[in-house]
A and B are shown apart, each in its own frame.
Chain A
């Protein structure tokens, strides 16, 4: 065995390779022209943006100070950030949505790590979601807060996680029914899935607002947020079902036949053999779907629920800080972007990791 002086390896000594970068920018005549054009575009775009964002911006002060300056009004953001995050939740009880938000974020972080994927995590989600609900309603601590005063990021995250969590088991059943040999169930599943996928989410939310109160006995007493959650869950389950079906299709038929030969019944075959493999296949797809769903929760604004986006919009109607749309939407946009961009990066990492796990 020969010892290798690591420092002497050519790889380690070589300085940064400029060649690909140079070729990528000025390699051909076309590339040079494109680079120059792009630089011209950036030179046109960036200075006004920098002026607005930083140089001419107002960092502290009142709306009058902001109106005097030509840049962004970050003083508005410091003044209204609480409102954008928690909307009309009573200010003296603000610890409740804060705690709910932290709980949800913490659990989301834990869930992202595959090493915690076990049964206890499901129980933790049930507990945390229940706890968040209790925290926001405040039934245990006295001074209850009705759900029309809830708002902001906790509501966005709560509705998103509850709807997605509930839609997954429903979707698994739908996907199994759609691939079943039983024609009647198959037809029902296809009808449901195509109905939901062919309808815009706004229409589904209107059903939650207008039809559900009439259709369920005593429905007009059911909370608006709960009604929205019911319909969104049904709506999303159709999309999740199609992804799960994609996973089921990747499992070779021989697996099912082998299980049958071993004397397994349908449910045991599915539960122990097919679904664990199929669901593992679709985890990255599910993460992508979940990102799309988080963006879709912004539609709650249409039916007047104060989710993050609607709270940002409402913050611009404060008479003291009237009309700072750009700043409010920028803050909400940054929050959405952080979640979704982070999520898509995570999905890519997860896909690579799962593939590596499969190979070994």
Chain B
């Protein structure tokens, strides 16, 4: 029987045929679809521009350099009414990043704790975690945010603030937590800290390249890092002190204060995504087959070692991509801030669109920022996945 040889790939060399090969069959129909899509968007864009001109707005991004006549409730960079729109949008972006970063960290801590508690083997605790997860997962985030903001606003005034261990105060003016004050901070301190951080990174990297990185020496290096960083402050004349919030007069002074909106958003995002992360951790650890546990036990490893050396490295393959997409979801869902009055990116963009009439450009900026954020994290994730994927995995 004669075998026909299947030739894969291009019949002719050259860029053009490579392009033709990528473009694939039915080139002209595809071209027609492409043209139709472009024409549709052009038409819609022309309509938008027409409408804007009719209501007396010039299309374009020139409005960014005009001054914005609104205040922002809270902002990391100094912003006051009259500053440029571009600074307002930047302040919103920083607020979004702030709540997203804190949310990711807290949700991970709570989620991992819950996931481990669910797997602890204790029936009562596992049932409780199960119900927590079901309750949080099956109600909308916005509803939870409404609940948190109502709660944050219903706290007593500062004089009767609820407090825990005299360190955490809950009042209707906000949530007060201990802060860290650095005095006498100089460029020498910064340089020393940067040098310490760099040598820490360099040590970890070389150890990793030489395949000598174990949790033992990694942990030791981290301790050295912390000790060196702690010593760097007095060595350069800087002092670190804990600033506890104290009740004085009619308000609470000192510490670090979170506005009710920020506290509510942070609580909502943390709780909602802790449930998701707890499920991911559970699924990841359960994805390691029982045989692995049994084999490790047969080799004489104790439970801590089994977890660290056998189970976690395999579970992380499942956990990491899922948890990353949770982080992305958290960042996207932080946009619900607009509904409870926290001035995040979406909220500022909305105000910008309403005050300038340039809703098209404002939303384009918004969508552009979120896209860049998402696509860059996805790209990083793909690189990571390629590194940790099983060698010779059939699925790839």
Quick check: A336 and B139 within 8 Å, CB to CB?
yes
Contacts of A219 in B (CB 8 A): 47
Report whether A31 and B141 are in contact in the complex, using a CB–CB cutoff of 8 Å. no
Distance A182 CA – B121 CA, assembled complex (angstroms): 52
How many residues of chain A have a CB within 8 Å of chain B? Answer: 60
Complex-state Cα separation, A200 to B371, whole angstroms: 9
Interface stretch (choices A108-116, A126-134, A204-212): A204-212
Extra contacts, 14 of them, besides A336-B140, A340-B138 (Cβ < 8 A), are A24-B123, A27-B121, A185-B33, A200-B332, A200-B333, A202-B346, A210-B353, A210-B359, A215-B47, A309-B143, A329-B150, A336-B138, A336-B139, A340-B137
Scan A181-200; emit 1 where CB is below 8 A from any B CB, else 0: 11111101000001101111
Residues of B within 8 A of A340 (CB): 137-139
User: B25, A211: Cβ atoms under 8 Å?
Assistant: no
B52 adjacent to chain A (CB < 8 Å) = yes
Contacts of A202 in B (CB 8 A): 335-336, 338, 346
B residues bordering A, Cβ < 8 Å?
A: 22-27, 30-31, 33-34, 37, 44-45, 47-48, 51-52, 120-125, 128, 134-135, 137-143, 146-147, 150, 154, 332-333, 335-336, 338-339, 346, 349-350, 353, 359-360, 363, 366-367, 370-371, 373-375
Tell me the nearest residue of chain A to B333, going by C-beta.
A200
Question: B25 to chain A: which residues have CB within 8 Å?
Answer: 181-182
The answer to whether A302 has its CB under 8 Å from any CB of chain B is yes
Partner of B146, one of A181, A207, A309: A309
Cβ of B363: which chain A residues have Cβ within 8 Å of it?
A: 203, 206-207, 210-211
Assembly CA distance A286 to B17 (angstroms): 40
Question: Is A301 engaged at the interface, CB distance under 8 Å to the other chain?
Answer: yes
Closest B residue to A299 by CB, please name it. B142
Residues in chain A near residue B360, CB distance under 8 A: 210-211, 214
Known A-B contacts A206-B350, A211-B48, A337-B135; A184 and B336 likewise in contact (beta carbons under 8 Å): no
Contacting B at CB under 8 A, from A1-42, are 21, 24-25, 27-28, 30-31, 34-35, 38-39, 41-42
Q: Is the interface of B mostly helix, strand, loop or mixed?
A: helix
A-B contact pairs, 24 of them (CB 8 A): A25-B123, A27-B121, A31-B120, A181-B24, A182-B24, A184-B24, A188-B33, A197-B374, A198-B370, A200-B332, A202-B338, A206-B350, A206-B366, A214-B52, A214-B360, A301-B339, A302-B338, A312-B143, A325-B146, A325-B154, A329-B147, A337-B139, A341-B134, A344-B138
CB distance from A182 to the nearest CB of B (A): 4
Q: Give the distance in Å from the alpha carbon of A269 to the alpha carbon of B146 in the complex.
A: 49
Select from chain B the residue with minimum beta-carbon distance to A339: B138
A357 contacts across to B, CB distance below 8 A: none
| Distance in Å: Cβ of B373 to nearest Cβ of chain A | 8
Q: Kindly report which residue of chain A lies nearest to residue B339, judged by CB atoms.
A: A302
B375 to chain A, nearest CB (A): 6
Residues of chain A lying within 8 A (CB to CB) of residue B374? 197-198
Binding site for B on A (CB under 8 A): 21, 24-25, 27-28, 30-31, 34-35, 38-39, 41-42, 180-186, 188, 194-195, 197-203, 206-207, 210-211, 213-217, 219, 291, 295-296, 298-299, 301-302, 309, 312-313, 325-326, 329, 332-333, 336-337, 340-341, 344
Q: Which 7 pairs from chain A and chain B are nearest by CB?
A: A24-B123, A184-B30, A198-B374, A340-B138, A298-B140, A210-B359, A325-B150
A329 to B147, CA, bound (A): 7
- Given A182-B25, A211-B360, A336-B143, does the pair A24, B122 have CB atoms closer than 8 Å? yes
Among A200, A210, A309, A313, the residue within 8 A (CB) of B370 is A200
The reply to whether B135 and A301 form a contact with Cβ atoms under 8 Å apart is: no
How many angstroms between the C-alpha atoms of A198 and B374 in the bound complex?
6
Residue contact A24 to B139, C-beta cutoff 8 Å: no
Alpha-carbon separation in the docked complex, A214 to B44 (Å): 8
